Structure 1
Amino acid sequence: MSRPRAAVLGHPIGHSLSPALHGAAYAMLGADIIYSRRDVDVAELPDFLAGEGAQRGWVGWSVTMPLKSAMVPHMDSLSPRVETLGVLNTVVHGPDGLAGDNTDVDGIVAALEEAGLQKAGLPTAETERPPTEGTQGRFGVIGAGSTAAAALAAAAELGFTEVCAYARSPERAVSLEPVAETLGIRLRTATLEALTRDVAGDELGAVVSTLPPRAADGLAAQVPRLRRRLPLLDVAYDPWPSALADAWERAGGHVVSGLAMLLHQAVEQVHRFTAGTARPAAELSSAEHEQMVARMRSVLPG
């Protein structure tokens, strides 16, 4: 009997840290799952799904760019999150076919919680006073792509009711409006230049940059002195620190690496991929689960 398999799919894929993360988890769990990389572009996706992807033995796939939206029409079922967001990052192979889910949302929420942000959208006592606008402030999202959609869902889970999407072309951010409406969030769109003004004030409660590596470098020189330790999650972790993260920290903000998001979204994938094994990750005791997460964290750079 062949060993169960999982993989990360995308293009390019050689830089992916997912094999190390998943490998560390499966080693601790004693799960006999082989996890690898598969370089698949959008044009190659139908052939992959009809060929290697249709073979027996798969338990799941981690899905990265540029396949997060392209994979959705090929699913047999979708989680409510994916139905809302229109993008996925996780595919589970089950008795009823391919099931699409999105654990990027979990990754963003957990990463910001590491920065002290609570579910109510308020900082903890250690992270300075809350913003003055309402009780939560606005949630800032830099970018308007698939990860920005996941950031909107994370904002809703953290208790924010207002989001401002900052984009080079605010018209592109309009594509997020149906997602925001479904989530019950008021969405405002603005230029990247407006971010400088907003972070200098007290209106924002947290910011997530969803831009790809180096795409936010131009913003670094525009980061003003911050009045408080406003948290920034920069999902681009290679190179790290990014120019934006470095400038943000020097300005007095609290920076969270995209590696934290990568870790926590992978933890949720491990839960799903090991559901049918002798030792499901989701059923571990709290102490054992913390140990698994620590093992996974230990393989990340830095």
Structure 2
Amino acid sequence: MTLPYAEVIGDPIAQSKSPIIHKHWLKALGLEGDYRHAHVTAEALPAYIAARRQDENWRGCNVTMPHKQAVMPLLDALDPLAERVGAVNTVVRGADGTLTGYNTDVPGFMEPLADFVTTLDQPCRALVLGNGGAARAVVAALAEAGPAITLAARDPAKAKALVDALAPAGDHGVSDLATFAQPAEGGYHLLINASPLGMVGNPPLTFDLSHLAPGAVVYDIITAPLKTPLLHAAEASGFTTVDGLSMLIGQAASAFERFFGAPPPRQDGDAALRALLTA
């Protein structure tokens, strides 16, 4: 008997931790199913989607770089959040073969921040670094949560277009990323690195922590390395930090329930799963 399965696609894909996460939850729940990874190039994406659409055992896929936008016109429907963000990271196959695109990055990103944003005794100011696909999900999430957002990128014009599209209302702005390499009087309560800077194989991120207010939270969505130089520096300076596994596990939880019809077990702050992912 062929088991129902889902998978993660991208180019490259071998580094993905998603199979570890979903297999752990399937085993913990005693569900029959599998979760795989598939290397899919940009040229092969249409053929991949067409073939999987016909596979009754395929429950869907998570979508990583560089396909989060390219996959959208190949689907039958988009969840309103995915449509607003302009990126899909989860595709779900219906029983009739129809494919719907979702964005679970947004709730996954916000999961560890909900209490912080709502309990500050002053208006929250958030600084987001980057203007790629990950930054789109971050800005969309923060626009709903209420902080005043500054989006910093190497191309401020592109950053402005992103903010105008996803956060047209509110006290938001853009800045040149290079500005934050120099010391300044702090004022940001929340810093999110949504750029690839600091990731293995990418240039380092140069950021001066003087831009942050006392008690700020520093959130780096990178997972390789898990403890980035930014997080090391922030911890050494006494700031609260959030690593990339928080968003990765949070977005996977939303996708898992759509694929396999049951919420994943998430006891003790995902301690057992985190141990697997960091072994």
TM-score (norm 1): 0.82
> What secondary structure is seen at the aligned counterpart in 1 of 2:215?
coil
Tell me what 1:126 maps to.
none
In structure 2, C-alpha distance between the alignment counterparts of 1:198 and 1:271, rounded to whole Å: 45
Distance 1:156 1:20, change over 3 A: same
Q: Offset of 1:164 from its aligned partner? A: 0.7
The answer as to 2:165 corresponding to 1:164 is no
Which stretches in structure 1 are left out of the alignment for 5+ residues?
Answer: 124-129, 283-287
Matches within 5 A, 1:112-191: 112-113=113-114, 117-118=116-117, 120=118, 122-123=119-120, 130=121, 135-160=122-147, 162-176=148-162, 177-181=164-168, 184-191=169-176
Q: RMSD value over aligned CA atoms?
A: 2.4
Tell me what 1:38 maps to.
38
Instruction: Give 1:168's aligned amino acid.
Output: R
Aligned length: 274
Tell me what 1:248 maps to.
234
Tell me what 1:235 maps to.
221
Which stretches in structure 2 are left out of the alignment for 5+ residues?
Answer: none
Alignment identity in percent? 31
Instruction: Give 1:117's aligned amino acid.
Output: F
CA contact (8 A) 2:193 2:219 kept: yes
Tell me what 1:281 maps to.
263
In structure 1, C-alpha distance between the alignment counterparts of 2:254 and 2:203, rounded to whole Å: 28
Matches within 5 A, 1:1-302: 1-52=1-52, 54-95=54-95, 97-113=98-114, 117-118=116-117, 120=118, 122-123=119-120, 130=121, 135-160=122-147, 162-176=148-162, 177-181=164-168, 184-195=169-180, 200-202=185-187, 204-212=188-196, 213=199, 215=202, 217-220=204-207, 222-224=208-210, 226-275=212-261, 280-281=262-263, 289-290=266-267, 293-301=270-278
Q: Offset of 1:65 from its aligned partner? A: 0.7
Q: Offset of 1:253 from its aligned partner? A: 2.1
Instruction: Give 2:101's aligned amino acid.
Output: G
> What secondary structure is seen at the aligned counterpart in 2 of 1:219?
coil
CA contact (8 A) 1:167 1:190 kept: yes
Instruction: Give 1:297's aligned amino acid.
Output: R
Distance 1:29 1:199, change over 3 A: farther
TM-score (norm 2): 0.89
Q: Offset of 1:227 from its aligned partner? A: 4.5
Distance 1:174 1:292, change over 3 A: closer
> What secondary structure is seen at the aligned counterpart in 2 of 1:81?
helix
Q: Offset of 1:175 from its aligned partner? A: 2.9
